[in-house]
Structures are given as structure tokens and as C-alpha cells.
């Protein structure tokens, strides 16, 4: 059986589990070859750390693709996360055009906002740029804040109703043209948190929840997204992939909470990888 190959386009923080230091081990552990394209290198991520180093690699992205084209590399999936500028959005859009084959799965996590607010580094026009990139994706992974920003709607605090979540999913499908949507940060009561999925073509909506663990844990969106990408590339259905990602992420958070680890360091997903491999049937 031919091994499938995933391209992960993210920044890399040398310390603090997020972005590529999460995507690479999780995707690789599920039997996939994970090729990486770093958009920037940081000494640590920016959540809670000060004095970190930052090297922008925007100018390297197209030369990397140019070299790969000479090697005739093919990718079964392309997965993008945090992009720091309109220029990087435009470059990644071009990368999609150059590397996508007929059956390549394009997954975009439009990382730009949380808790009702756009990240301070971005201008107010940034959601429209990310929405344009999402229009080239097969699967998008927004949280509720990112979803409403791309729709130009007002952010609402939860708990949410089923009607609101499903209306949001359907409006997002119409606005972006994405075939599948995974909406994170969904909670219908104060006890359970999870994600909802929407398959536009089949009109199927599904949910997965886990008991809320208090606190803000860095890198959990990357953990969740990496499991989604690995599961879908390995042929798992969207509802099953969502269920697996919700539980793997929650278990990683719980493991970290019990250990009392500094929350800036990210979550302990590594010790859950053997179970993830078993649950994915690898």
C-alpha cells in the first residue's frame, strides 16, 4: 500500500507545543508522511511569553515550491494553519493552485481570532482575506469567532442553541463554498464543549462533546486540527474524525491539568498517541 503524504504549512515555535511541533508528530504517528513548510521560526510561541525571537520565512515559500515542482512531488492533503499576513495568504493560495491534484484534500484552519476578538496583529479586513482562502478549501476548521468574522456577523456568547449553530454552519458553507466545515468552540450548555460538523453535499450535521475542563490551554486548536487532517486523510468519515479529535484534545488537556504543567507549554498530547493510533485503526 502506498503511503499517503500530507503537507503542513504552519509556523514553527522551537518551544511551546503548537503549529508544526504538534502537526508533525500527530500526523506522522498515524502512518502518514508529513512534509512541512515553515512560514516562520520563533523561539517560543507568542501566548504568554515575552522576548521571543521571530524570523519570517515568507520569502522562502515560493522557492521551496519551485524546488518541489522539479521533484514532481504529490500530496494527498495540504493543511494550513496560522498565516501572519495578506502576503502569506496570497502565497498559500498560489501554492494550492500549483500543488493541488484532482484528489488532493485542502484543509484550512483560519487561525485569526478567539473569544469574540480578532487577534490584535491583524487589520479589520483580514477576515475577508481568510474567507477568500477558505473558498479554495475542501474542509475548513473555524472557531465560532472566526466564523462570524468571515460572515460579517456580530459575535454572540454561548451557550448556543442548535438552531444558531446549524444556521451558522449553513451560512458559512454558502459564503465560503467549502465542502465540509468543522466548527469548534461549540457548547449548548455550561458543562460540555466540543465541535459541530457540516457536510454541505449530504446536508449532514453532527456533534461531539466532552466535559469542559476549565482554563485556557495553548495549542489545542492545532492538536484538534492535526487529528482531523490525519483522520480524513486516512479515510475516516467526518463525524468520526470530529469525535476522535474532540476526545483526543480533551484527554490531552486533562493530562496536562492533572500534571499542573505551566499552561504556556502546551498540552501533553504525546502520551495519548498510542491510543490515537489504536482508535484510528492504524
Residue-range domain boundaries for the chain: 5-280
**Of 85-89, 214-218, 241-245, which gets the smallest average pLDDT?**
214-218
Whether the pLDDT of residue 1 is over 80: the answer is: no
What is the pTM for the complete model shown? Answer: 0.97
Give the model's pLDDT for residue 282: 83
- Give tens-digit pLDDT for 113-146: 999 999 999 999 999 999 999 999 999 999 999 9
Give the model's pLDDT for residue 83: 96
CB 220, CB 249: distance < 8 Å: yes
33: left (phi over 0), alpha (psi -120 to 50) or beta: beta
- Give tens-digit pLDDT for 37-81: 999 999 999 988 999 999 999 999 999 999 999 999 999 999 999
- Give tens-digit pLDDT for 229-239: 999 999 999 99
pLDDT band at 103 (very low <50, low <70, confident <90, very high): very high
- Using the CB atoms, write b or e for 90-116: b if 16+ within 10 Å: ebbbebbeebeeeebbbbbbbbbbbee
pLDDT band at 204 (very low <50, low <70, confident <90, very high): very high
DSSP string, the chain: -PPPEEEEEEEEEEESS-THHHHHHHHHHTT-EEEEEEEEEEEE-SSS--S--EEE-HHHHHHHHHHHHHHT---SEEEE----SHHHHHHHHHHHHHH--TTPEEEE---SEETTEE-TTS-TTHHHHHHHHHTT-SEE--BHHHHHHHHT-----SS--HHHHHHHHHHHHHHH--SEEEEEEE-SSSSEEEEEEEETTTTEEEEEEEE---S--TTHHHHHHHHHHHHHHTT--HHHHHHHHHHHHHHHHHHHHHHT--GGG----GGGHHHHHHHHT-
* Average pLDDT rounded to a whole number, residues 89-113: 98
Q: Which grid cell is 14?
A: 522551537
Taking the chain, what is the end-to-end CA distance rounded to the nearest angstrom? 13
Give the model's pLDDT for residue 176: 97
Q: What's the whole-number average pLDDT of the chain?
A: 97
Half-sphere exposure of 214 (CA within 13 A, CB side): 1
- Give tens-digit pLDDT for 19-29: 999 999 999 99
Q: Which grid cell is 181?
A: 466545515
Scan for cell 481568510, then name that residue.
Answer: 130
- Third-level CATH fold of 5-280: 3.40.1190
Give the model's pLDDT for residue 86: 97
Strands 77-80 and 5-15: parallel
- Give tens-digit pLDDT for 157-186: 999 999 999 999 999 999 999 999 999 999
CB 132, CB 103: distance < 8 Å: no
* Average pLDDT rounded to a whole number, residues 92-116: 97
Give the model's pLDDT for residue 258: 97
Burial environment of residue 235 by CB neighbours within 10 A (0 to 12, 13 to 18, 19 or more): exposed
Q: Which grid cell is 243?
A: 469525535
Amino acid at each position: 500500500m502506498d503511503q499517503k503524504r500530507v503537507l503542513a504549512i504552519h509556523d514553527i515555535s522551537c518551544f511551546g507545543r503548537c503549529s508544526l511541533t504538534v502537526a508533525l508528530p500527530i500526523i506522522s504517528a498515524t502512518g502518514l508522511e508529513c512534509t512541512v513548510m515553515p512560514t516562520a521560526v520563533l523561539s517560543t510561541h507568542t501566548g504568554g511569553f515575552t522576548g521571543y525571537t521571530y524570523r519570517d520565512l515568507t520569502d522562502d515559500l515560493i522557492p521551496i515550491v519551485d524546488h518541489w515542482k522539479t521533484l514532481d512531488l504529490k500530496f494527498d492533503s495540504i493543511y494550513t494553519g496560522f498565516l501572519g499576513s495578506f502576503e502569506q495568504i496570497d502565497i498559500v493560495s498560489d501554492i494550492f493552485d500549483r500543488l493541488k491534484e484532482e484528489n488532493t484534500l485542502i484543509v484550512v484552519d483560519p487561525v485569526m481570532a478567539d473569544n469574540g476578538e480578532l487577534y490584535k496583529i491583524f487589520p479589520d479586513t483580514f477576515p475577508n482575506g481568510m474567507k477568500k482562502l477558505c473558498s479554495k478549501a475542501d474542509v475548513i476548521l473555524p472557531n465560532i469567532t472566526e466564523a462570524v468574522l468571515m460572515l460579517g456577523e456580530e459575535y454572540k456568547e454561548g451557550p448556543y442553541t442548535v438552531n444558531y449553530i446549524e444556521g451558522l454552519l449553513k451560512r458559512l458553507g454558502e459564503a465560503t463554498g467549502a465542502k465540509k466545515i468543522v466548527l469548534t468552540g461549540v457548547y449548548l450548555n455550561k458543562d460540555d464543549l466540543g465541535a459541530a460538523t457540516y457536510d454541505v453535499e449530504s446536508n449532514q450535521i453532527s456533534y461531539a462533546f466532552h466535559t469542559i475542563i476549565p482554563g485556557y490551554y495553548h495549542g489545542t486548536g492545532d492538536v484538534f486540527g492535526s487529528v482531523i487532517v490525519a483522520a480524513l486523510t486516512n479515510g475516516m468519515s467526518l463525524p468520526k474524525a470530529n469525535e476522535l479529535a474532540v476526545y483526543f484534545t480533551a484527554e490531552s488537556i486533562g493530562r496536562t491539568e492533572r500534571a499542573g504543567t505551566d499552561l504556556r507549554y502546551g498540552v501533553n498530547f504525546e502520551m495519548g498517541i498510542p491510543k490515537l493510533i489504536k482508535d484510528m485503526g492504524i
